[in-house]
Structure 1
Amino acid sequence: MNRKTPSIRPAEAASEAATAPIPAPDAVAVGFEAVVSGAFDADLQVPPAPDEPAQPSKRVLEPEAEAPKLHKVLAQAGLGSRLEMERLIAQGQITVNGEPAHVGQRIQQGDAIRIDGRPIKLRIAPLPPRVLAYHKPAGEVVTHDDPQNRPTVFRRLPRLYSGKWQSVGRLDINTEGLLLLTNSGELAHLLMHPSFGLQREYAVRVLGALSLEEKQKLLDGVQLEDGPAQFQTLEEGGGEGANCWYRVTIAEGRNREVRRMFESLGHAVSRLIRIRYGAVALPRGLRRGVWMELDARDVARLTEATGMDRTLESRARQFQPPAPPKRQPSRGRSQGPRPSAPKLVDGAPMPRNTGRISARAPSPGPKRGAARGPKPGAPR
């Protein structure tokens, strides 16, 4: 498995995305200069070093180490001890998503658990999303089911334990470069939403140089079939002959938007490479058709840029098991209610006994010397 680390830059705020300068790429990131100079293509054509370990024929994801084990979750839900739950699992009485469970199996939110066919409702804290950086080559489409049976990017991705990969935006069949994919539909939606203004950076090769007037039009905005569109930044990169390179950034990702913007001014795009999406840059040396998983720190930066980290924290608090109530020492019936919790009654409030002598006059008692007869009804 490729262990390179993608280049991550701090995410700009949405209000500053249009004016903030693009920082120089790190040494491990694909920079615009590398694309223009040809170093980007040269690096991908270099064969692996002899001492470099061969890639396995079938690459898989690392297991979810943070996912809780089934028998532990069942025991915490009060269904029995851990040993008892392990025994039920070993006897085949527990299923997960319709399949017999096995001892030590890990589960996550959304899994269907049944004991002897009876569904069990469990509260499991959601896990952080998983994100892949994929180097999409030209000729692949970003769809799960293509009616024309063209090769798709999803055929090269690792199998998820549950759910499916969702692309963060799309690249058309002739566009190459960085494509982010995640198992979280919520994160994919937030990363694509224009309200966050996450920049997409492209290296574009067009036929014919742009005039100053055409450059200004692309920055001010051009009218397309589905509405106006504009680049946030546009920089020249040189070129050879009629081919001219430009680095552009844009804060949205409509269908073939970059190509249509240049075509609206009469310039055909001969090559289009996405080299950055938000804070994630295409790692240099990541070969076409190869993916790598972002580590927890990089995923945290993505969720922080969209505000999703606060949502995950609130969900984790929501799924915290409630603390058991504290047992209070029992009080005898003759003792009555606690002094600190008087009962509410109708009428004027009754003063508490503070130990002081009451100012009320004492109630008149029987006169001294008066005969005290027996109580009515008392036996003589």
Structure 2
Amino acid sequence: MGSRREMERLIETGEVTINGEKATLGDRVSVSDIVKVHGRVVTLVAEEDVPRRVIMYNKPEGELCTRHDPQGRRTVFDRLPKLKGERWISIGRLDINTSGLLLFTTDGELANRLMHPSQKIEREYAVRVMGEVKPEHVKAMVEGVMLEDGMANFTDVQEFGGEGINTWFHVVIMEGRNREVRRLWESQGLTVSRLKRVRYGSVFLDKRARAGEWIELTQQEIDQLSQQAGLERRFVKDSLDKREKIDRQRKKTRAIRNVNKQYR
């Protein structure tokens, strides 16, 4: 029905009741309690009975990782499928000039764990660098560089071909601080001209989702992410058969492609 902050605000203003009594922050409820918001009964569902959904989105450059932009610029949420009674939560962010893999989930706990530095979830980026990259540059970025917000480093740096201003590298980092990949290269006097995230944990960006498109992850892929986050798998009966799933996905993909044509 809204973000945690929005719900806390409703509780504080007395808009939420439990069994006829005004709720307070920290109250606990069970599925047998009667919870109302604005006087309307809310259907309670046990957490283990709610499907854990995750989608992979291929973000183009120029989109913002925010729900609403005061200037009316396009955001990554504009193209996501609509949900009823749930909301998509972004697992990490990419700046406006960075493209590639973004994950969204309906499970806040999964999102929090996958973003938290303690889980040591790998993020892999393809980077095009302007300037001569020397072995001592790579060595420094792997061993660690002191940035304005603390030490940072890549756990791996691999050259992926090209030459001159078109030299590409793949780098792996274990956290998601603001512009961290770009700042690490800049610390060596080098400029990143293109940056694209290609992997988050066990999920690789692949051809299932072209730029500006999304795809829902399979149960196996979600289970692998859940395992990395230290969460148990949820066994939920799927109400859609295989053919209905495929038809629904095709309709959504066609709709997204039609939107893309308007901006070409």
TM-score between the two structures when normalised by the length of structure 2 = 0.71
Report percent identity of matched pairs: 51
Answering whether residue 62 of structure 2 is matched by residue 147 of structure 1, we say no
1:210 counterpart letter in structure 2: V
Structure 2 partner of 1:183: 106
Structure 2 partner of 1:291: 214
Answering whether residue 186 of structure 2 is matched by residue 263 of structure 1, we say yes
Shift of 1:119: 4.4
Report the Cα distance in structure 1 between the residues aligned to 2:68 and 2:40, rounded to whole angstroms. Answer: 35
Structure 1 partner of 2:154: 231
Report the Cα distance in structure 2 between the residues aligned to 1:275 and 1:119, rounded to whole angstroms. Answer: 43
Structure 2 partner of 1:215: 138
Residue correspondence of structure 1 range 190-339 to structure 2 within 5 A: 190-284=113-207, 286-309=209-232
Report the Cα distance in structure 1 between the residues aligned to 2:174 and 2:42, rounded to whole angstroms. Answer: 45
Structure 2 partner of 1:99: none
Report the Cα distance in structure 1 between the residues aligned to 2:49 and 2:110, rounded to whole angstroms. Answer: 13
1:133 counterpart letter in structure 2: M
Shift of 1:113: 7.4
Deviation digits for residues 255-310 of structure 1 (CA, Å, limit 9, x no counterpart): 11000110111111000011110000001252110000012221111111111117
Report the Cα distance in structure 2 between the residues aligned to 1:175 and 1:187, rounded to whole angstroms. Answer: 24
Residue correspondence of structure 1 range 99-178 to structure 2 within 5 A: 119=41, 124=46, 125-178=48-101
Conserved 8 A contact 1:135-1:289: yes
1:155 counterpart letter in structure 2: D
Conserved 8 A contact 1:137-1:288: yes
Structure 2 partner of 1:372: none
1:271 counterpart letter in structure 2: R
Report the Cα distance in structure 1 between the residues aligned to 2:42 and 2:130, rounded to whole angstroms. Answer: 62
Aligned length: 201
Structure 1 partner of 2:260: none
Structure 1 partner of 2:20: none
TM-score between the two structures when normalised by the length of structure 1 = 0.50
Structure 1 partner of 2:8: none
Residue correspondence of structure 1 range 30-49 to structure 2 within 5 A: none
**CA 1:260–1:122 in structure 2 vs 1: closer, same or farther (change >3 Å)?**
closer
Structure 2 alignment gaps of length 5 or more: 1-30, 236-264
**CA 1:185–1:208 in structure 2 vs 1: closer, same or farther (change >3 Å)?**
same
Report the Cα distance in structure 2 between the residues aligned to 1:264 and 1:183, rounded to whole angstroms. Answer: 37
Conserved 8 A contact 1:208-1:243: no
Deviation digits for residues 328-366 of structure 1 (CA, Å, limit 9, x no counterpart): xxxxxxxxxxxxxxxxxxxxxxxxxxxxxxxxxxxxxxx
Report the Cα distance in structure 2 between the residues aligned to 1:118 and 1:282, rounded to whole angstroms. Answer: 42
Structure having the higher Rg:
1
1:161 counterpart letter in structure 2: K
Q: Which has a greater percent of strand?
A: 2
Conserved 8 A contact 1:178-1:275: yes
Shift of 1:163: 2.2
Structure 2 partner of 1:42: none
Report the Cα distance in structure 1 between the residues aligned to 2:42 and 2:99, rounded to whole angstroms. Answer: 46
Runs of 4+ in 1 over 6 A off after TM superposition: none
Cα RMSD for the two superposed structures: 2.3
**CA 1:239–1:185 in structure 2 vs 1: closer, same or farther (change >3 Å)?**
same
Matched residue SS, 1:239: coil
Shift of 1:147: 2.5
Report the Cα distance in structure 2 between the residues aligned to 1:120 and 1:260, rounded to whole angstroms. Answer: 46
1:284 counterpart letter in structure 2: K
Report the Cα distance in structure 2 between the residues aligned to 1:202 and 1:270, rounded to whole angstroms. Answer: 13
Report the Cα distance in structure 2 between the residues aligned to 1:142 and 1:295, rounded to whole angstroms. Answer: 24
Conserved 8 A contact 1:141-1:150: yes
Structure 1 alignment gaps of length 5 or more: 1-108, 314-380
Report the Cα distance in structure 2 between the residues aligned to 1:296 and 1:275, rounded to whole angstroms. Answer: 20
